A and B are shown apart, each in its own frame.
Chain A
Amino acid sequence: MSAIDSHGSPPTAAGGKGPLWSRMKHAHHFRNHDEEFDACKLGMWLFLTTEVLLFSGLFVAYAIMRMKYPQAFTNGSHYLDWRWGGLNTIVLLLSSFTMAYSIRNAQMNKQGWLKFNLAFTVLCGALFLVIKFTLEYAPKWAQGKRPGFLFSYPNAQDPYEPIWWSIYYSATGIHATHVLIGMGLITYLFLRSLKGTYGPKHYTGVEVVGLYWHLVDLIWIFLFPLLYLIH
């Protein structure tokens, strides 16, 4: 058992030789590195729980509105092009794969691959957003397929289509915000990986951000069929 009476410090690089990851210290209030790693993972899982609950509010709203206005929702999913949604699904799945792979890279100390996979993941996120905004949001918005009072699409077949668009933009918009946040986090990992921060003994950051990224992916996996595929 360790004494905790020393004047610890947050993880910083200590002096000495060896790559940066091998010199990273755990925070002073943890007994050892594993304990810190477990704590961070538990914290992230709890955070992911809150994310699931946040989105479940949207899913409930979706379910209730769909029950009330089935026709509007059927029309709605016909307005969406499943091919773009499908492409985005593939992009995100691929990014989840590279994200998972980057954890493996850190564990195996493959620094080059680590950087590559992190960068690749960020690019996938960006591609997702580009497809979403330029190929989906922008044309629809221009046609007047907008949420709520902003709705002005002249050929609507059902009076409740604005509600469909409200749900569509809220759900995908909040999801896109999460993609953006995830990209920010992975960029941060990437910049730190340039300095050699992550390696076999220190990859907590990659691991927990990875968990987050998989959740963002998972939520899309639910949104995609609900919005695009169910007719």
Chain B
Amino acid sequence: MSTIDTHGPHDSHAAHGHDDHGHGGHHHEGSYLTPRGGLFSTIWSWMTTVDHKKLGVMYLTAVLTLFFVGGVAALAVRAELWAPNRAVSETQPDGTVKTTIKGQLFNIGVPTEVTKVDPATGKPVLDAQGNEVKEWKRVESLNSGNQTYNRIMTLHGAIMVFMVIIPSIPAALGNFFLPIMLGAKDVAFPRLNLLSWWVYVFGSVFAVASVIVGGVDTGWTFYTPYSTMTDAGHWRVVAMVAGAFILGFSSILTGLNFIVTVHKLRAPGMGWFDMPLFVWAIYATAIIQVLATPVIGITLLMLIFERLFHVGIFDPRMGGDPVLFQHFFWFYSHPVVYVMILPGMGVASELIAVHAHKRLFGYRAIAFASLGIAGVSFIVWGHHMFTAEGELAAAVFSALTFLVAIPTAVKVFNWLGTLYKAHISINTPMCYALSFLFLFSIGGLTGLPLATLSTDMHLHDSYFVVAHFHYVMMGSTLIAFVGGIHHWWPKMFGRMYNDTWGIIGCVLVFIGFNVTFFTQFFLGTRGMPRRYASYVDEFTIFHQISTVGSWILALGFLITLFNLLHSLVAGKKAPPNPWGGLTLEWSVESPPSEHNFHHEPLVTHGPYAFDEVVPFHRTPEEFPLPPKPVGGGHH
């Protein structure tokens, strides 16, 4: 047996003369992006890679692709809402009255099971036993536009929640940067990481398949009994639910991997409070993923049983309890909103500290606030069910929900405190960080009227809720994600993008977002319910403003996308530390080498000690340290 590919870290270095060893950092191993072999073997090596960086890039690609699909669905939904749907009756020249539906974009019919008819005879086709043969056909009806709307809306919601926002920051950026920020060579279980990527792909395929065969109209919340009865007999609802179930597995495996990585693979010298706040955020997220996702797993499994075998646990006809489904669903899905936001908060902390070149104000407070949010998130689920649960429960859940606001506000004030009197660089990542602060504040504050029982009775299931969660999910998490992409793009791909176009994209996204969603607060307080394809005429102007906003938003994202892609072919080569960051990822090459570090790093300073250390690869002239009366830096 050869020794070439089998030596571990303790083997003597002299024993083998491999040329892609970076002993002592004397020569480069080549970046992780360097292709090995021809096209097919390169593709194969990506598909089977256990390198956390490549997996991060693969998640990034998948998430952005699905974001595009979900985004097109969103534009379609907004376009449908341009005008209310009205039945208009016209008297034809021959005296008959013809009724048409105006204002509908989606009247393309709904797949429905119908009796197969022989076109030649006009009679139903019979099989060998003499039974009528059924087939699936698109049937148009007055209602079919609404049904298509429901399907596209569900597609949008399910893709964005389960396939975009939940994996976005943790799976893409987290995979890439968590190990590097800890000074590790990889995550604790690299093969598990590959598995969870494939599980993610597999789950997405299920969900997308259900759309191809006609779509699901349950909404992303799959409330029973509607979800157990709609499209009875067709498998597409089961496919969608199974897709969500499988995606949950991927989420659990990723979370588990990250927790173990944080516990076991920190570099020497890195204590818990030397970890970057991004890592803290991902850690808190991972805890929620591991503890909450199994509950949605069993819930979705029971929903599948319900559809396949009518087991009746959620079915009132058999004595089951549909509200039980809501409890189960929100027991997961409330914590999962923090799976969505915590990583965004982590990114915001990095962006703000690095681009304001200042020690983060209240590091420990932010770290503990992450854990606090994770903890509280498990006891507030009932606030989604104020209208479905008992009064006492509603009052208790309302009171508990206000607790969430405390750690949340702690973070916001700390970020503002960091920006105060700081040396702020106005560049693309900072633009996104400021957008995040602004939009997250609106999103968080509008959670409070929803948490208040009396006001929520009015606002529940209205556009106010829609606006609220778009401010926190899209305005905060997604904005932080895109901001994070801009912050780490030079590190991931070794190229600088055009900052001006980056800022233009960001500003357009910010404006478009507010035009789209701020309007919806007005719609909601005026009584526009969510999930309808039509509305009373009075709301027309608001809906049209909102739809125009969605176009601005789309334009902003397209510019951003082109700007980033353009940098891959024409961008300047990125230096190792373009922003002057102090966390470990800035100490390695851009893009990083295959094993991240040439030597195991030794951590000697905090992640935000901008007042003590000159950042890696930078000179004191570029980053002058403030004069310090006592102590001093380590360098």
Residues of chain A at the chain B interface (Cβ within 8 Å)? 1-10, 12-16, 25-32, 35, 38-40, 42-43, 46-47, 49-51, 53-58, 60-61, 64-65, 68-69, 147-150, 159-160, 162-163, 166-167, 169-170, 174
Q: How far is the CA of A51 from the CA of B259 in the complex (A)?
A: 17
* Contact for B9 among A6, A50, A64, A149, CB less than 8 A: A6
Chain B, range 265-311, C-beta contacts under 8 Å to A = 265, 268, 290-295, 297-299, 301-302, 305-306, 309-311
Of the listed residues B5, B10, B265, the one surrounded by the most CB atoms of chain A closer than 10 A to its CB is B10
Closest partner residue, chain A, to B25 (CB atom) = A5
Give the residues in chain A near B306, CB-CB below 8 Å.
Answer: 148
User: Are A167 and B313 also in contact (CB < 8 A) when A4-B597, A27-B190, A51-B294 are?
Assistant: yes
Q: How far is the CA of A199 from the CA of B290 in the complex (A)?
A: 32
Give the residues in chain A near B302, CB-CB below 8 Å.
Answer: 57, 61, 170
User: Are A148 and B20 also in contact (CB < 8 A) when A3-B9, A163-B318 are?
Assistant: no
| A5 and B21 contacting across the interface, CB-CB below 8 Å | yes
Judge if B348 is at the interface, Cβ distance under 8 Å.
no
Q: How far is the CB of A202 from chain B (nearest CB, A)?
A: 13
Q: How far is the CA of A26 from the CA of B50 in the complex (A)?
A: 15
Judge if B1 is at the interface, Cβ distance under 8 Å.
yes
* Contact for A53 among B24, B259, B295, CB less than 8 A: B295
Judge if B118 is at the interface, Cβ distance under 8 Å.
no
Judge if B102 is at the interface, Cβ distance under 8 Å.
no
Judge if B22 is at the interface, Cβ distance under 8 Å.
yes
Give the residues in chain B near A149, CB-CB below 8 Å.
Answer: 309-310, 312, 318
Judge if B629 is at the interface, Cβ distance under 8 Å.
no
| B290 and A6 contacting across the interface, CB-CB below 8 Å | no
User: Are A54 and B21 also in contact (CB < 8 A) when A14-B1, A29-B265, A170-B302 are?
Assistant: no
User: Are A29 and B190 also in contact (CB < 8 A) when A6-B13, A147-B311 are?
Assistant: yes
Judge if B257 is at the interface, Cβ distance under 8 Å.
yes
Interface of A is mostly: helix
Give the residues in chain A near B597, CB-CB below 8 Å.
Answer: 4-5
Q: How far is the CB of A7 from chain B (nearest CB, A)?
A: 6
Q: How far is the CB of A223 from chain B (nearest CB, A)?
A: 14
Number of interchain pairs (Cβ within 8 Å)? 189
Closest partner residue, chain A, to B22 (CB atom) = A5
Q: How far is the CA of A66 from the CA of B265 in the complex (A)?
A: 46
Q: How far is the CA of A106 from the CA of B336 in the complex (A)?
A: 41
Q: How far is the CA of A69 from the CA of B312 in the complex (A)?
A: 13
| B185 and A15 contacting across the interface, CB-CB below 8 Å | no
User: Are A162 and B318 also in contact (CB < 8 A) when A47-B256, A170-B302 are?
Assistant: yes
Give the residues in chain A near B301, CB-CB below 8 Å.
Answer: 174
Give the residues in chain A near B127, CB-CB below 8 Å.
Answer: none
| A6 and B312 contacting across the interface, CB-CB below 8 Å | no
Q: How far is the CA of A1 from the CA of B8 in the complex (A)?
A: 14
A and B contact pairs by CB, cutoff 8 A, 7 listed: A14-B7, A29-B190, A31-B600, A42-B259, A42-B260, A43-B192, A57-B302
| B309 and A147 contacting across the interface, CB-CB below 8 Å | yes
| A148 and B264 contacting across the interface, CB-CB below 8 Å | no
| A1 and B600 contacting across the interface, CB-CB below 8 Å | yes
User: Are A29 and B184 also in contact (CB < 8 A) when A6-B11, A15-B2, A53-B294 are?
Assistant: yes
Give the residues in chain B near A159, CB-CB below 8 Å.
Answer: 319
Judge if B123 is at the interface, Cβ distance under 8 Å.
no
Q: How far is the CA of A42 from the CA of B55 in the complex (A)?
A: 23
| B311 and A170 contacting across the interface, CB-CB below 8 Å | yes
Of the listed residues A38, A53, A163, the one surrounded by the most CB atoms of chain B closer than 10 A to its CB is A53
Q: How far is the CB of A57 from chain B (nearest CB, A)?
A: 3
Judge if B324 is at the interface, Cβ distance under 8 Å.
yes
Q: How far is the CB of A26 from chain B (nearest CB, A)?
A: 6
* Contact for B8 among A25, A40, A47, CB less than 8 A: A25
Q: How far is the CA of A166 from the CA of B190 in the complex (A)?
A: 39
Give the residues in chain B near A162, CB-CB below 8 Å.
Answer: 312, 318-319
Q: How far is the CA of A218 from the CA of B321 in the complex (A)?
A: 28
Q: How far is the CB of A166 from chain B (nearest CB, A)?
A: 4
Chain B, range 40-76, C-beta contacts under 8 Å to A = 50
| B1 and A13 contacting across the interface, CB-CB below 8 Å | yes
Give the residues in chain B near A69, CB-CB below 8 Å.
Answer: 319
Closest partner residue, chain B, to A41 (CB atom) = B260
Q: How far is the CA of A174 from the CA of B305 in the complex (A)?
A: 11
* Contact for A14 among B6, B22, B189, B294, CB less than 8 A: B6
User: Are A50 and B23 also in contact (CB < 8 A) when A13-B1, A57-B298 are?
Assistant: no
Of the listed residues B22, B25, B311, B599, the one surrounded by the most CB atoms of chain A closer than 10 A to its CB is B311
Q: How far is the CA of A148 from the CA of B307 in the complex (A)?
A: 11
User: Are A148 and B600 also in contact (CB < 8 A) when A29-B184, A54-B298, A170-B302 are?
Assistant: no
Nearest 7 pairs between A and B by C-beta?
A57-B298, A15-B1, A149-B310, A166-B311, A29-B185, A53-B294, A148-B311
Give the residues in chain B near A3, CB-CB below 8 Å.
Answer: 9, 599-600
Judge if B247 is at the interface, Cβ distance under 8 Å.
no
